[in-house]
Structures are given as structure tokens and as C-alpha cells.
Amino acid sequence: MKTLLKGIGLSVAGFALGTTGLVASAQAEGEVNIYSYRQPELIKPLLDAFTEKTGVKTNVVFAKKGLGERMKAEGKNSPADILLSVDIGRLQGAKDLGVTQAVENDSINGNIPANLRDAEGHWFGLTTRARVIYASKDRVAQDSITYEELADPKWKGRICTRSGQHVYSIGLFASMVAHKGDAEAQKWLEAVRDNLARKPTGNDRAQVKSIFAGECDISLGNTYYMGKMQTNEKDPEQKDWANSVRILFPNSADRGTHVNISGMVLAKHAPNKDNAVKLMEFLASGDAQAIYAAQNFEYPVKPGVEPSELVASWGTFKADPISLNEIAAKRAKASELVDVVGFDNGPSS
């Protein structure tokens, strides 16, 4: 199994088995098999709590990409019961690949707001992260902002961001298409492109590093990266990056800040379906939501469950209530517009 996974670029946690053993494991009682885009150490506290509560053993295969495609290739022989993923694009992508099945469950639906789950029950949000503005404490005085304002010429040469084709960027741009329409979203993207300090590159943390270095004054980024930087013991310099910025939650005074999700799907051919649904119910519960969100510096989706103390310290905000079903439907257009305006080529002058 290790050789097979290595051949398609996967790393393994939990499935240290031969191919024959894997099939046997998938059919055993008292287990649930998880394909995860989230690193095993991040979900281990959750899975340990689930096993303690139910006695059901969990097995995890982790990869940064390709799990949906693997499930499709495996077909009816797939051992996967659940796929855990980040970003609405990957969740909807799994549905589009035909590797999911619908779940109609009152407990899950009661805990997860309708705008954060698939209208047909194929994917469910578990935590949210806001796409915010990281702003220099030294060079940006204002304490509020809108996404629309990023097109203002006053920001010319002052904005850093990662690739416009990254899934996190596409999610935000899709929300602009949904709210503004194709033409206005294109004009906005062109103006933001021309306000960039440089060609888009790096990840969200790299943008904050650039603010710290004085290369730009604001950047787009997900909220949880603040937590990752603030608590990074392996690279203490990241704490300095984090201390150089503050978070601005865009559009808090009107429609709200764009949010994306981490989430779950039930595999189409789940061999341990009953246990998989038990795990999904558990992950949607208040106790699990608190553990999951704190572990990943994200926000619980279940109403009434508070974020961790660290996450709460970044301030409160209004989340855009638009359905992520609509965001998912606009992702292709957003991606097209990124290429049309040459966003990833950087500013035109």
C-alpha cells in the first residue's frame, strides 16, 4: 500500500497495510476510513475523541492533492468512507467527480447552517475561515475596509497577494462575481491587479512577511494564518511578521466578510457507511466543533459554539451570508476572469 500511495504522491498515516490487508480493513466492523487533505496531527484530537466516545477505530490517509481523483479511480473498491477537505472548490470538486453520496441527517443539518452545506447534501462545512486584509500597523491607519476599496488608486503599489488562481483567491473572486456580476468583477480585478506591489507569488504567510519587510502595506489572507504565525515555535521570526500587522474584516458594515470552509463528504462507495455517518454527526456536534476550530485557528460553524480565545482576540466580524452553493457555481467564471485580465502577470505599469 505504501508503494502504491507513493506512486501517486500520497503520504500515509494509519493505513500501514498491504493491499490485501486494506480491503479486509475496509470491510471490518468498528472502523471508519478517512481520506484527508488536513494533516493527521491536526485532526487527531478529534478522531481520538470520536473513538473514545464510540469505540470506532479511525484510519487516515493524508495527501495535499489528488484524493478525489484517487477515489474515482478506485471506484467501487475504494476503502474511503469520508473525505475531509478544505475549500469549497475541493468539496464541490469531489461532488462533480461523482465520488460522493448525499446525506439526509437531521442532526447534521441542524448543526450546520444551510448556506454552509450543499443543497443536495453532498458536502458539509465544519469550520469557516475569513478572507481578510492583513494591514501594516505602521503604515495603514484605517480600521475598516471593503473588498471594493482594493481597487482604489490610493493602494497603487501597496497590495500583496498569492496567485489569483489559487483556490483561496478563486473563492473570494467568485464571491465578487456573485455580488457584482461578471463585468463589474472584471473591472475590479483589473484595478486590483494594477494596485499590486509585485507579481502574485508565495502563500498567505509570505504576504505578511512582505508587509513586515516593507514591500507592501496590505495583503489578502485567511484568518487562520495569523494563529499559525503567532504560535510558531519552529520559526519564531513568523511571530514578528504577525506582530507587524492587524486584521481588517472587509465589508463588515454591509454584506459581510467572505468566508470559506473546511468540510466533509460521505464517499459514494463507503464500505463502513454507518460508522461514517456516526463520525459525520460527531464532527458536526458542538464539542467536536470547539476542538476542531481551536486546533486549526478557525471558526465553528455550529451556532452558539464560540471560537478559541486566540481567534476571538482578532475581533468580531459579520460573515457574508451568501450560500457557498452560489460561490461554487461562480468559481469557473472567476478563474476565467483571472486569466482574461492577466492578474498573475502583476501590475501593468
Average confidence (pLDDT) over 28-56: 91
Is the pLDDT at 8 greater than 60, yes or no?
A: no
pTM greater than the 0.85 cutoff: yes
Amino acid occupying residue 255: R
Average confidence (pLDDT) over 298-310: 95
Residues of the chain with pLDDT > 70, as a percent, come to 91
Average confidence (pLDDT) over 326-340: 97
Is the pLDDT at 18 greater than 60, yes or no?
A: no
Which residue ranges are tagged as binding site? 224-225
Average confidence (pLDDT) over 147-162: 98
Looking at per-residue confidence, does 18 or 111 come out higher? Answer: 111
Considering only 25-39, 247-261, 272-286, 308-322, which range has the smallest mean pLDDT?
Answer: 25-39
Residue 24 is predicted with a pLDDT of 40
List pLDDT tens digits, range 226-252.
999 999 999 999 999 999 999 999 999
Which residue ranges are tagged as binding site for Fe cation? 224-225
Distance separating alpha carbons of residues 318 and 309, to the nearest angstrom: 18
Residue 4 is predicted with a pLDDT of 33
What 8-state DSSP symbol labels residue 344? G
Distance separating alpha carbons of residues 257 and 270, to the nearest angstrom: 36
Q: Which domains does the chain have, with CATH numbers?
A: 2-127+260-306 (3.40.190.10), 130-257+319-345 (3.40.190.10)
Looking at per-residue confidence, does 12 or 49 come out higher? Answer: 49
Is the pLDDT at 176 greater than 70, yes or no?
A: yes
Is the pLDDT at 6 greater than 60, yes or no?
A: no
Residue 29 is predicted with a pLDDT of 53
pLDDT band, very low/low/confident/very high, at 25 (cuts 50, 70, 90): very low
Alpha carbon separation from 49 to 34, 41, 57, 268 (Å, rounded): 15, 13, 11, 25
Quote helix, strand, coil % in the chain, to nearest 5: 45, 20, 35
Residue 74, phi then psi, degrees to nearest 5: -75, -30
Residue 348 is predicted with a pLDDT of 77
List pLDDT tens digits, range 131-147.
999 999 999 999 999 99
Residue 82 is predicted with a pLDDT of 98
Helix segments in the chain, DSSP class H: 2-7, 19-27, 40-54, 67-74, 88-97, 106-111, 167-180, 182-195, 204-212, 224-230, 237-243, 273-283, 286-296, 309-312, 324-340
Asked whether the beta carbons of 283 and 51 are under 8 A apart, the reply is no
CA angle 76, 81, 82 (to 5 degrees): 125
CA angle 252, 221, 264 (to 5 degrees): 90
Mapped onto helix, strand or coil, the DSSP state of residue 235 is coil
Residue 292 is predicted with a pLDDT of 87
List pLDDT tens digits, range 179-225.
999 999 999 999 999 999 999 999 999 999 999 999 999 999 999 99
